[in-house]
A and B are shown apart, each in its own frame.
Chain A
Amino acid sequence: MSSSANEAAARASAVSEMGRTIPTDAEVPHSEGVRWGMVVDLDRCTGCQACVVACQAENNIALNEEQRVLERRAKTWIRIERYWEGEFPNAKARFIPVLCQHCGNAPCETVCPVWATYHNREGLNVQVYNRCIGTRFCANGCPYSVRYFNFWNPEWPEPMNNQLNPDVTVRTKGIIEKCTFCVQRINRAHVTAGTEGREIRPGEVQPACAQSCPTSALVFADLNNSESYPAQLAEAEADRSYTLLEHFGTDPGVIYLKKVDPHAEIHEDEHAHA
């Protein structure tokens, strides 16, 4: 065997060794096993922002003071985008909750030089804070703008520092953070189900946003489990379902439902005002 063949064999074995610790896309078919996902019914969303507040509290997200918002450096793992339709007085407000789409084919994952973000076997797009070196390539690559960079170390005024969630790391300056689908709750459900010797039941895991939604516009479950309500909902309401920026081929794990208004007037010059 020549030396270059030896090298190729060594490289192949190194790659297969890596593949054992970090699953590749080919290894995890999205139609099999668990795929955590969400169905967002935009016809139910009232734009109340309860999900935003719940997420902020659950995930130890730093306070977005006025100055931070003006600097466009506010962090909201889930945000409500507001669009106006029509002109006053016949204006309608439309809301779209936007969170990490946990793409099956995520643009953020391929650009990370240190594998700080990867796709796990349950369809989650995971951010490993310890690995992150803050290049922000992922945030630039994300078409949904749902990755947030920590420009400062977060600080909470007394007594709010006492309400931090012990199950979630407080992220430090210089790293990227984003929606985790409340992975700490998923992990807890795994432990509970494991100790009781069963599978996780549909509806057992609720991220903070879905839990706090007063109109149940956000519903969360394993989309591959046909017994789960969101999977059934997405199936039954297929005629009004879509995913954000579908044409990018990112295969999002968040499915949006929206009835198309046949009476809506669409003007060429109409711009969205978020």
Chain B
Amino acid sequence: MQHLAALLPRVTLKQALIVGGATAPPLVGGAGVLAILLYLMAAGGTATPAPEQPIAFDHSVHAGDAAIPCEFCHRGVGTQAAATVPSVEQCMFCHSVVKTDSPQIQLLQAHWDTKTPVNWARVHRVPDHVRFVHAPHIQAGVACETCHGDVASMEEVKQVRSLAMGDCQGCHRENSASLDCATCHK
């Protein structure tokens, strides 16, 4: 399902409704077109499928069951541009003792032993001409879930919002944040 969604063009809910609404009545197979669009939406919509990670890190265990706050691991989030991915050392603060018999933790242990970083696959990436800084958003009291979705229930993290310019602008407009081009575009 996810592989299929990756091959097909991405559509937003709005686009699907407009296209579906315009094509459905005149066409005999209109219902079919609508069904295909709805299928695409169900298959992922704007969201990209979760990338495969080198270690099957489960956010639902850490952020969900253990209720570890996001910023405990993503320490840069309140002060800098990048939320930062924790270093292997930071994982080992706990995992030198916690669940050491798990095969996934042994993968981590191998990275620790060889002093090599884990090559995590990036999930969220804004285009090169956009400069997104986490800090002011956290300062303004925007919850992580607003953009990242309910990560605490995700086994594999995937992007849930389009994070396209209109998506950012809508939120900026609602919250009277800056709409100056130079704020985000570099």
Contacts and interface: CB of A to CB of B under 8 A. Distances in A.
Same complex for A and B? Answer yes
A10 interface: no
Contacts of A20: 179
Contacts of B125: none
B78 A120 contact: no
Given A167-B131, A195-B136, A118 B183 contact: no
A128 B185 contact: yes
Contact of B79 (A130, A169, A183, A195): A195
Contacts of B181: 118, 120, 126, 128
Using C-beta atoms within 8 Å of the partner chain, give the interface range for chain B.
10 to 19
Contacts, number: 47
A130 B129 contact: yes
B186 A194 contact: no
Contact of A130 (B78, B131, B180, B185): B185
Contacts of A167: 131, 186
Given A21-B179, A169-B128, A195-B78, A184 B135 contact: no
Using C-beta atoms within 8 Å of the partner chain, give the interface range for chain A.
20 to 34
Contacts of A184: 131, 186
Contact of B186 (A121, A124, A168): A168
A187 interface: yes
Nearest to A167: B186
Contacts of A168: 186
Interface string A164-194: 0001111000000000100110010001001
Interface of B: 78-79, 81, 128-129, 131, 133, 135-136, 139, 179-183, 185-186
Interface of A: 20-21, 118, 120-121, 124, 126, 128-130, 167-170, 180, 183-184, 187, 191, 194-195
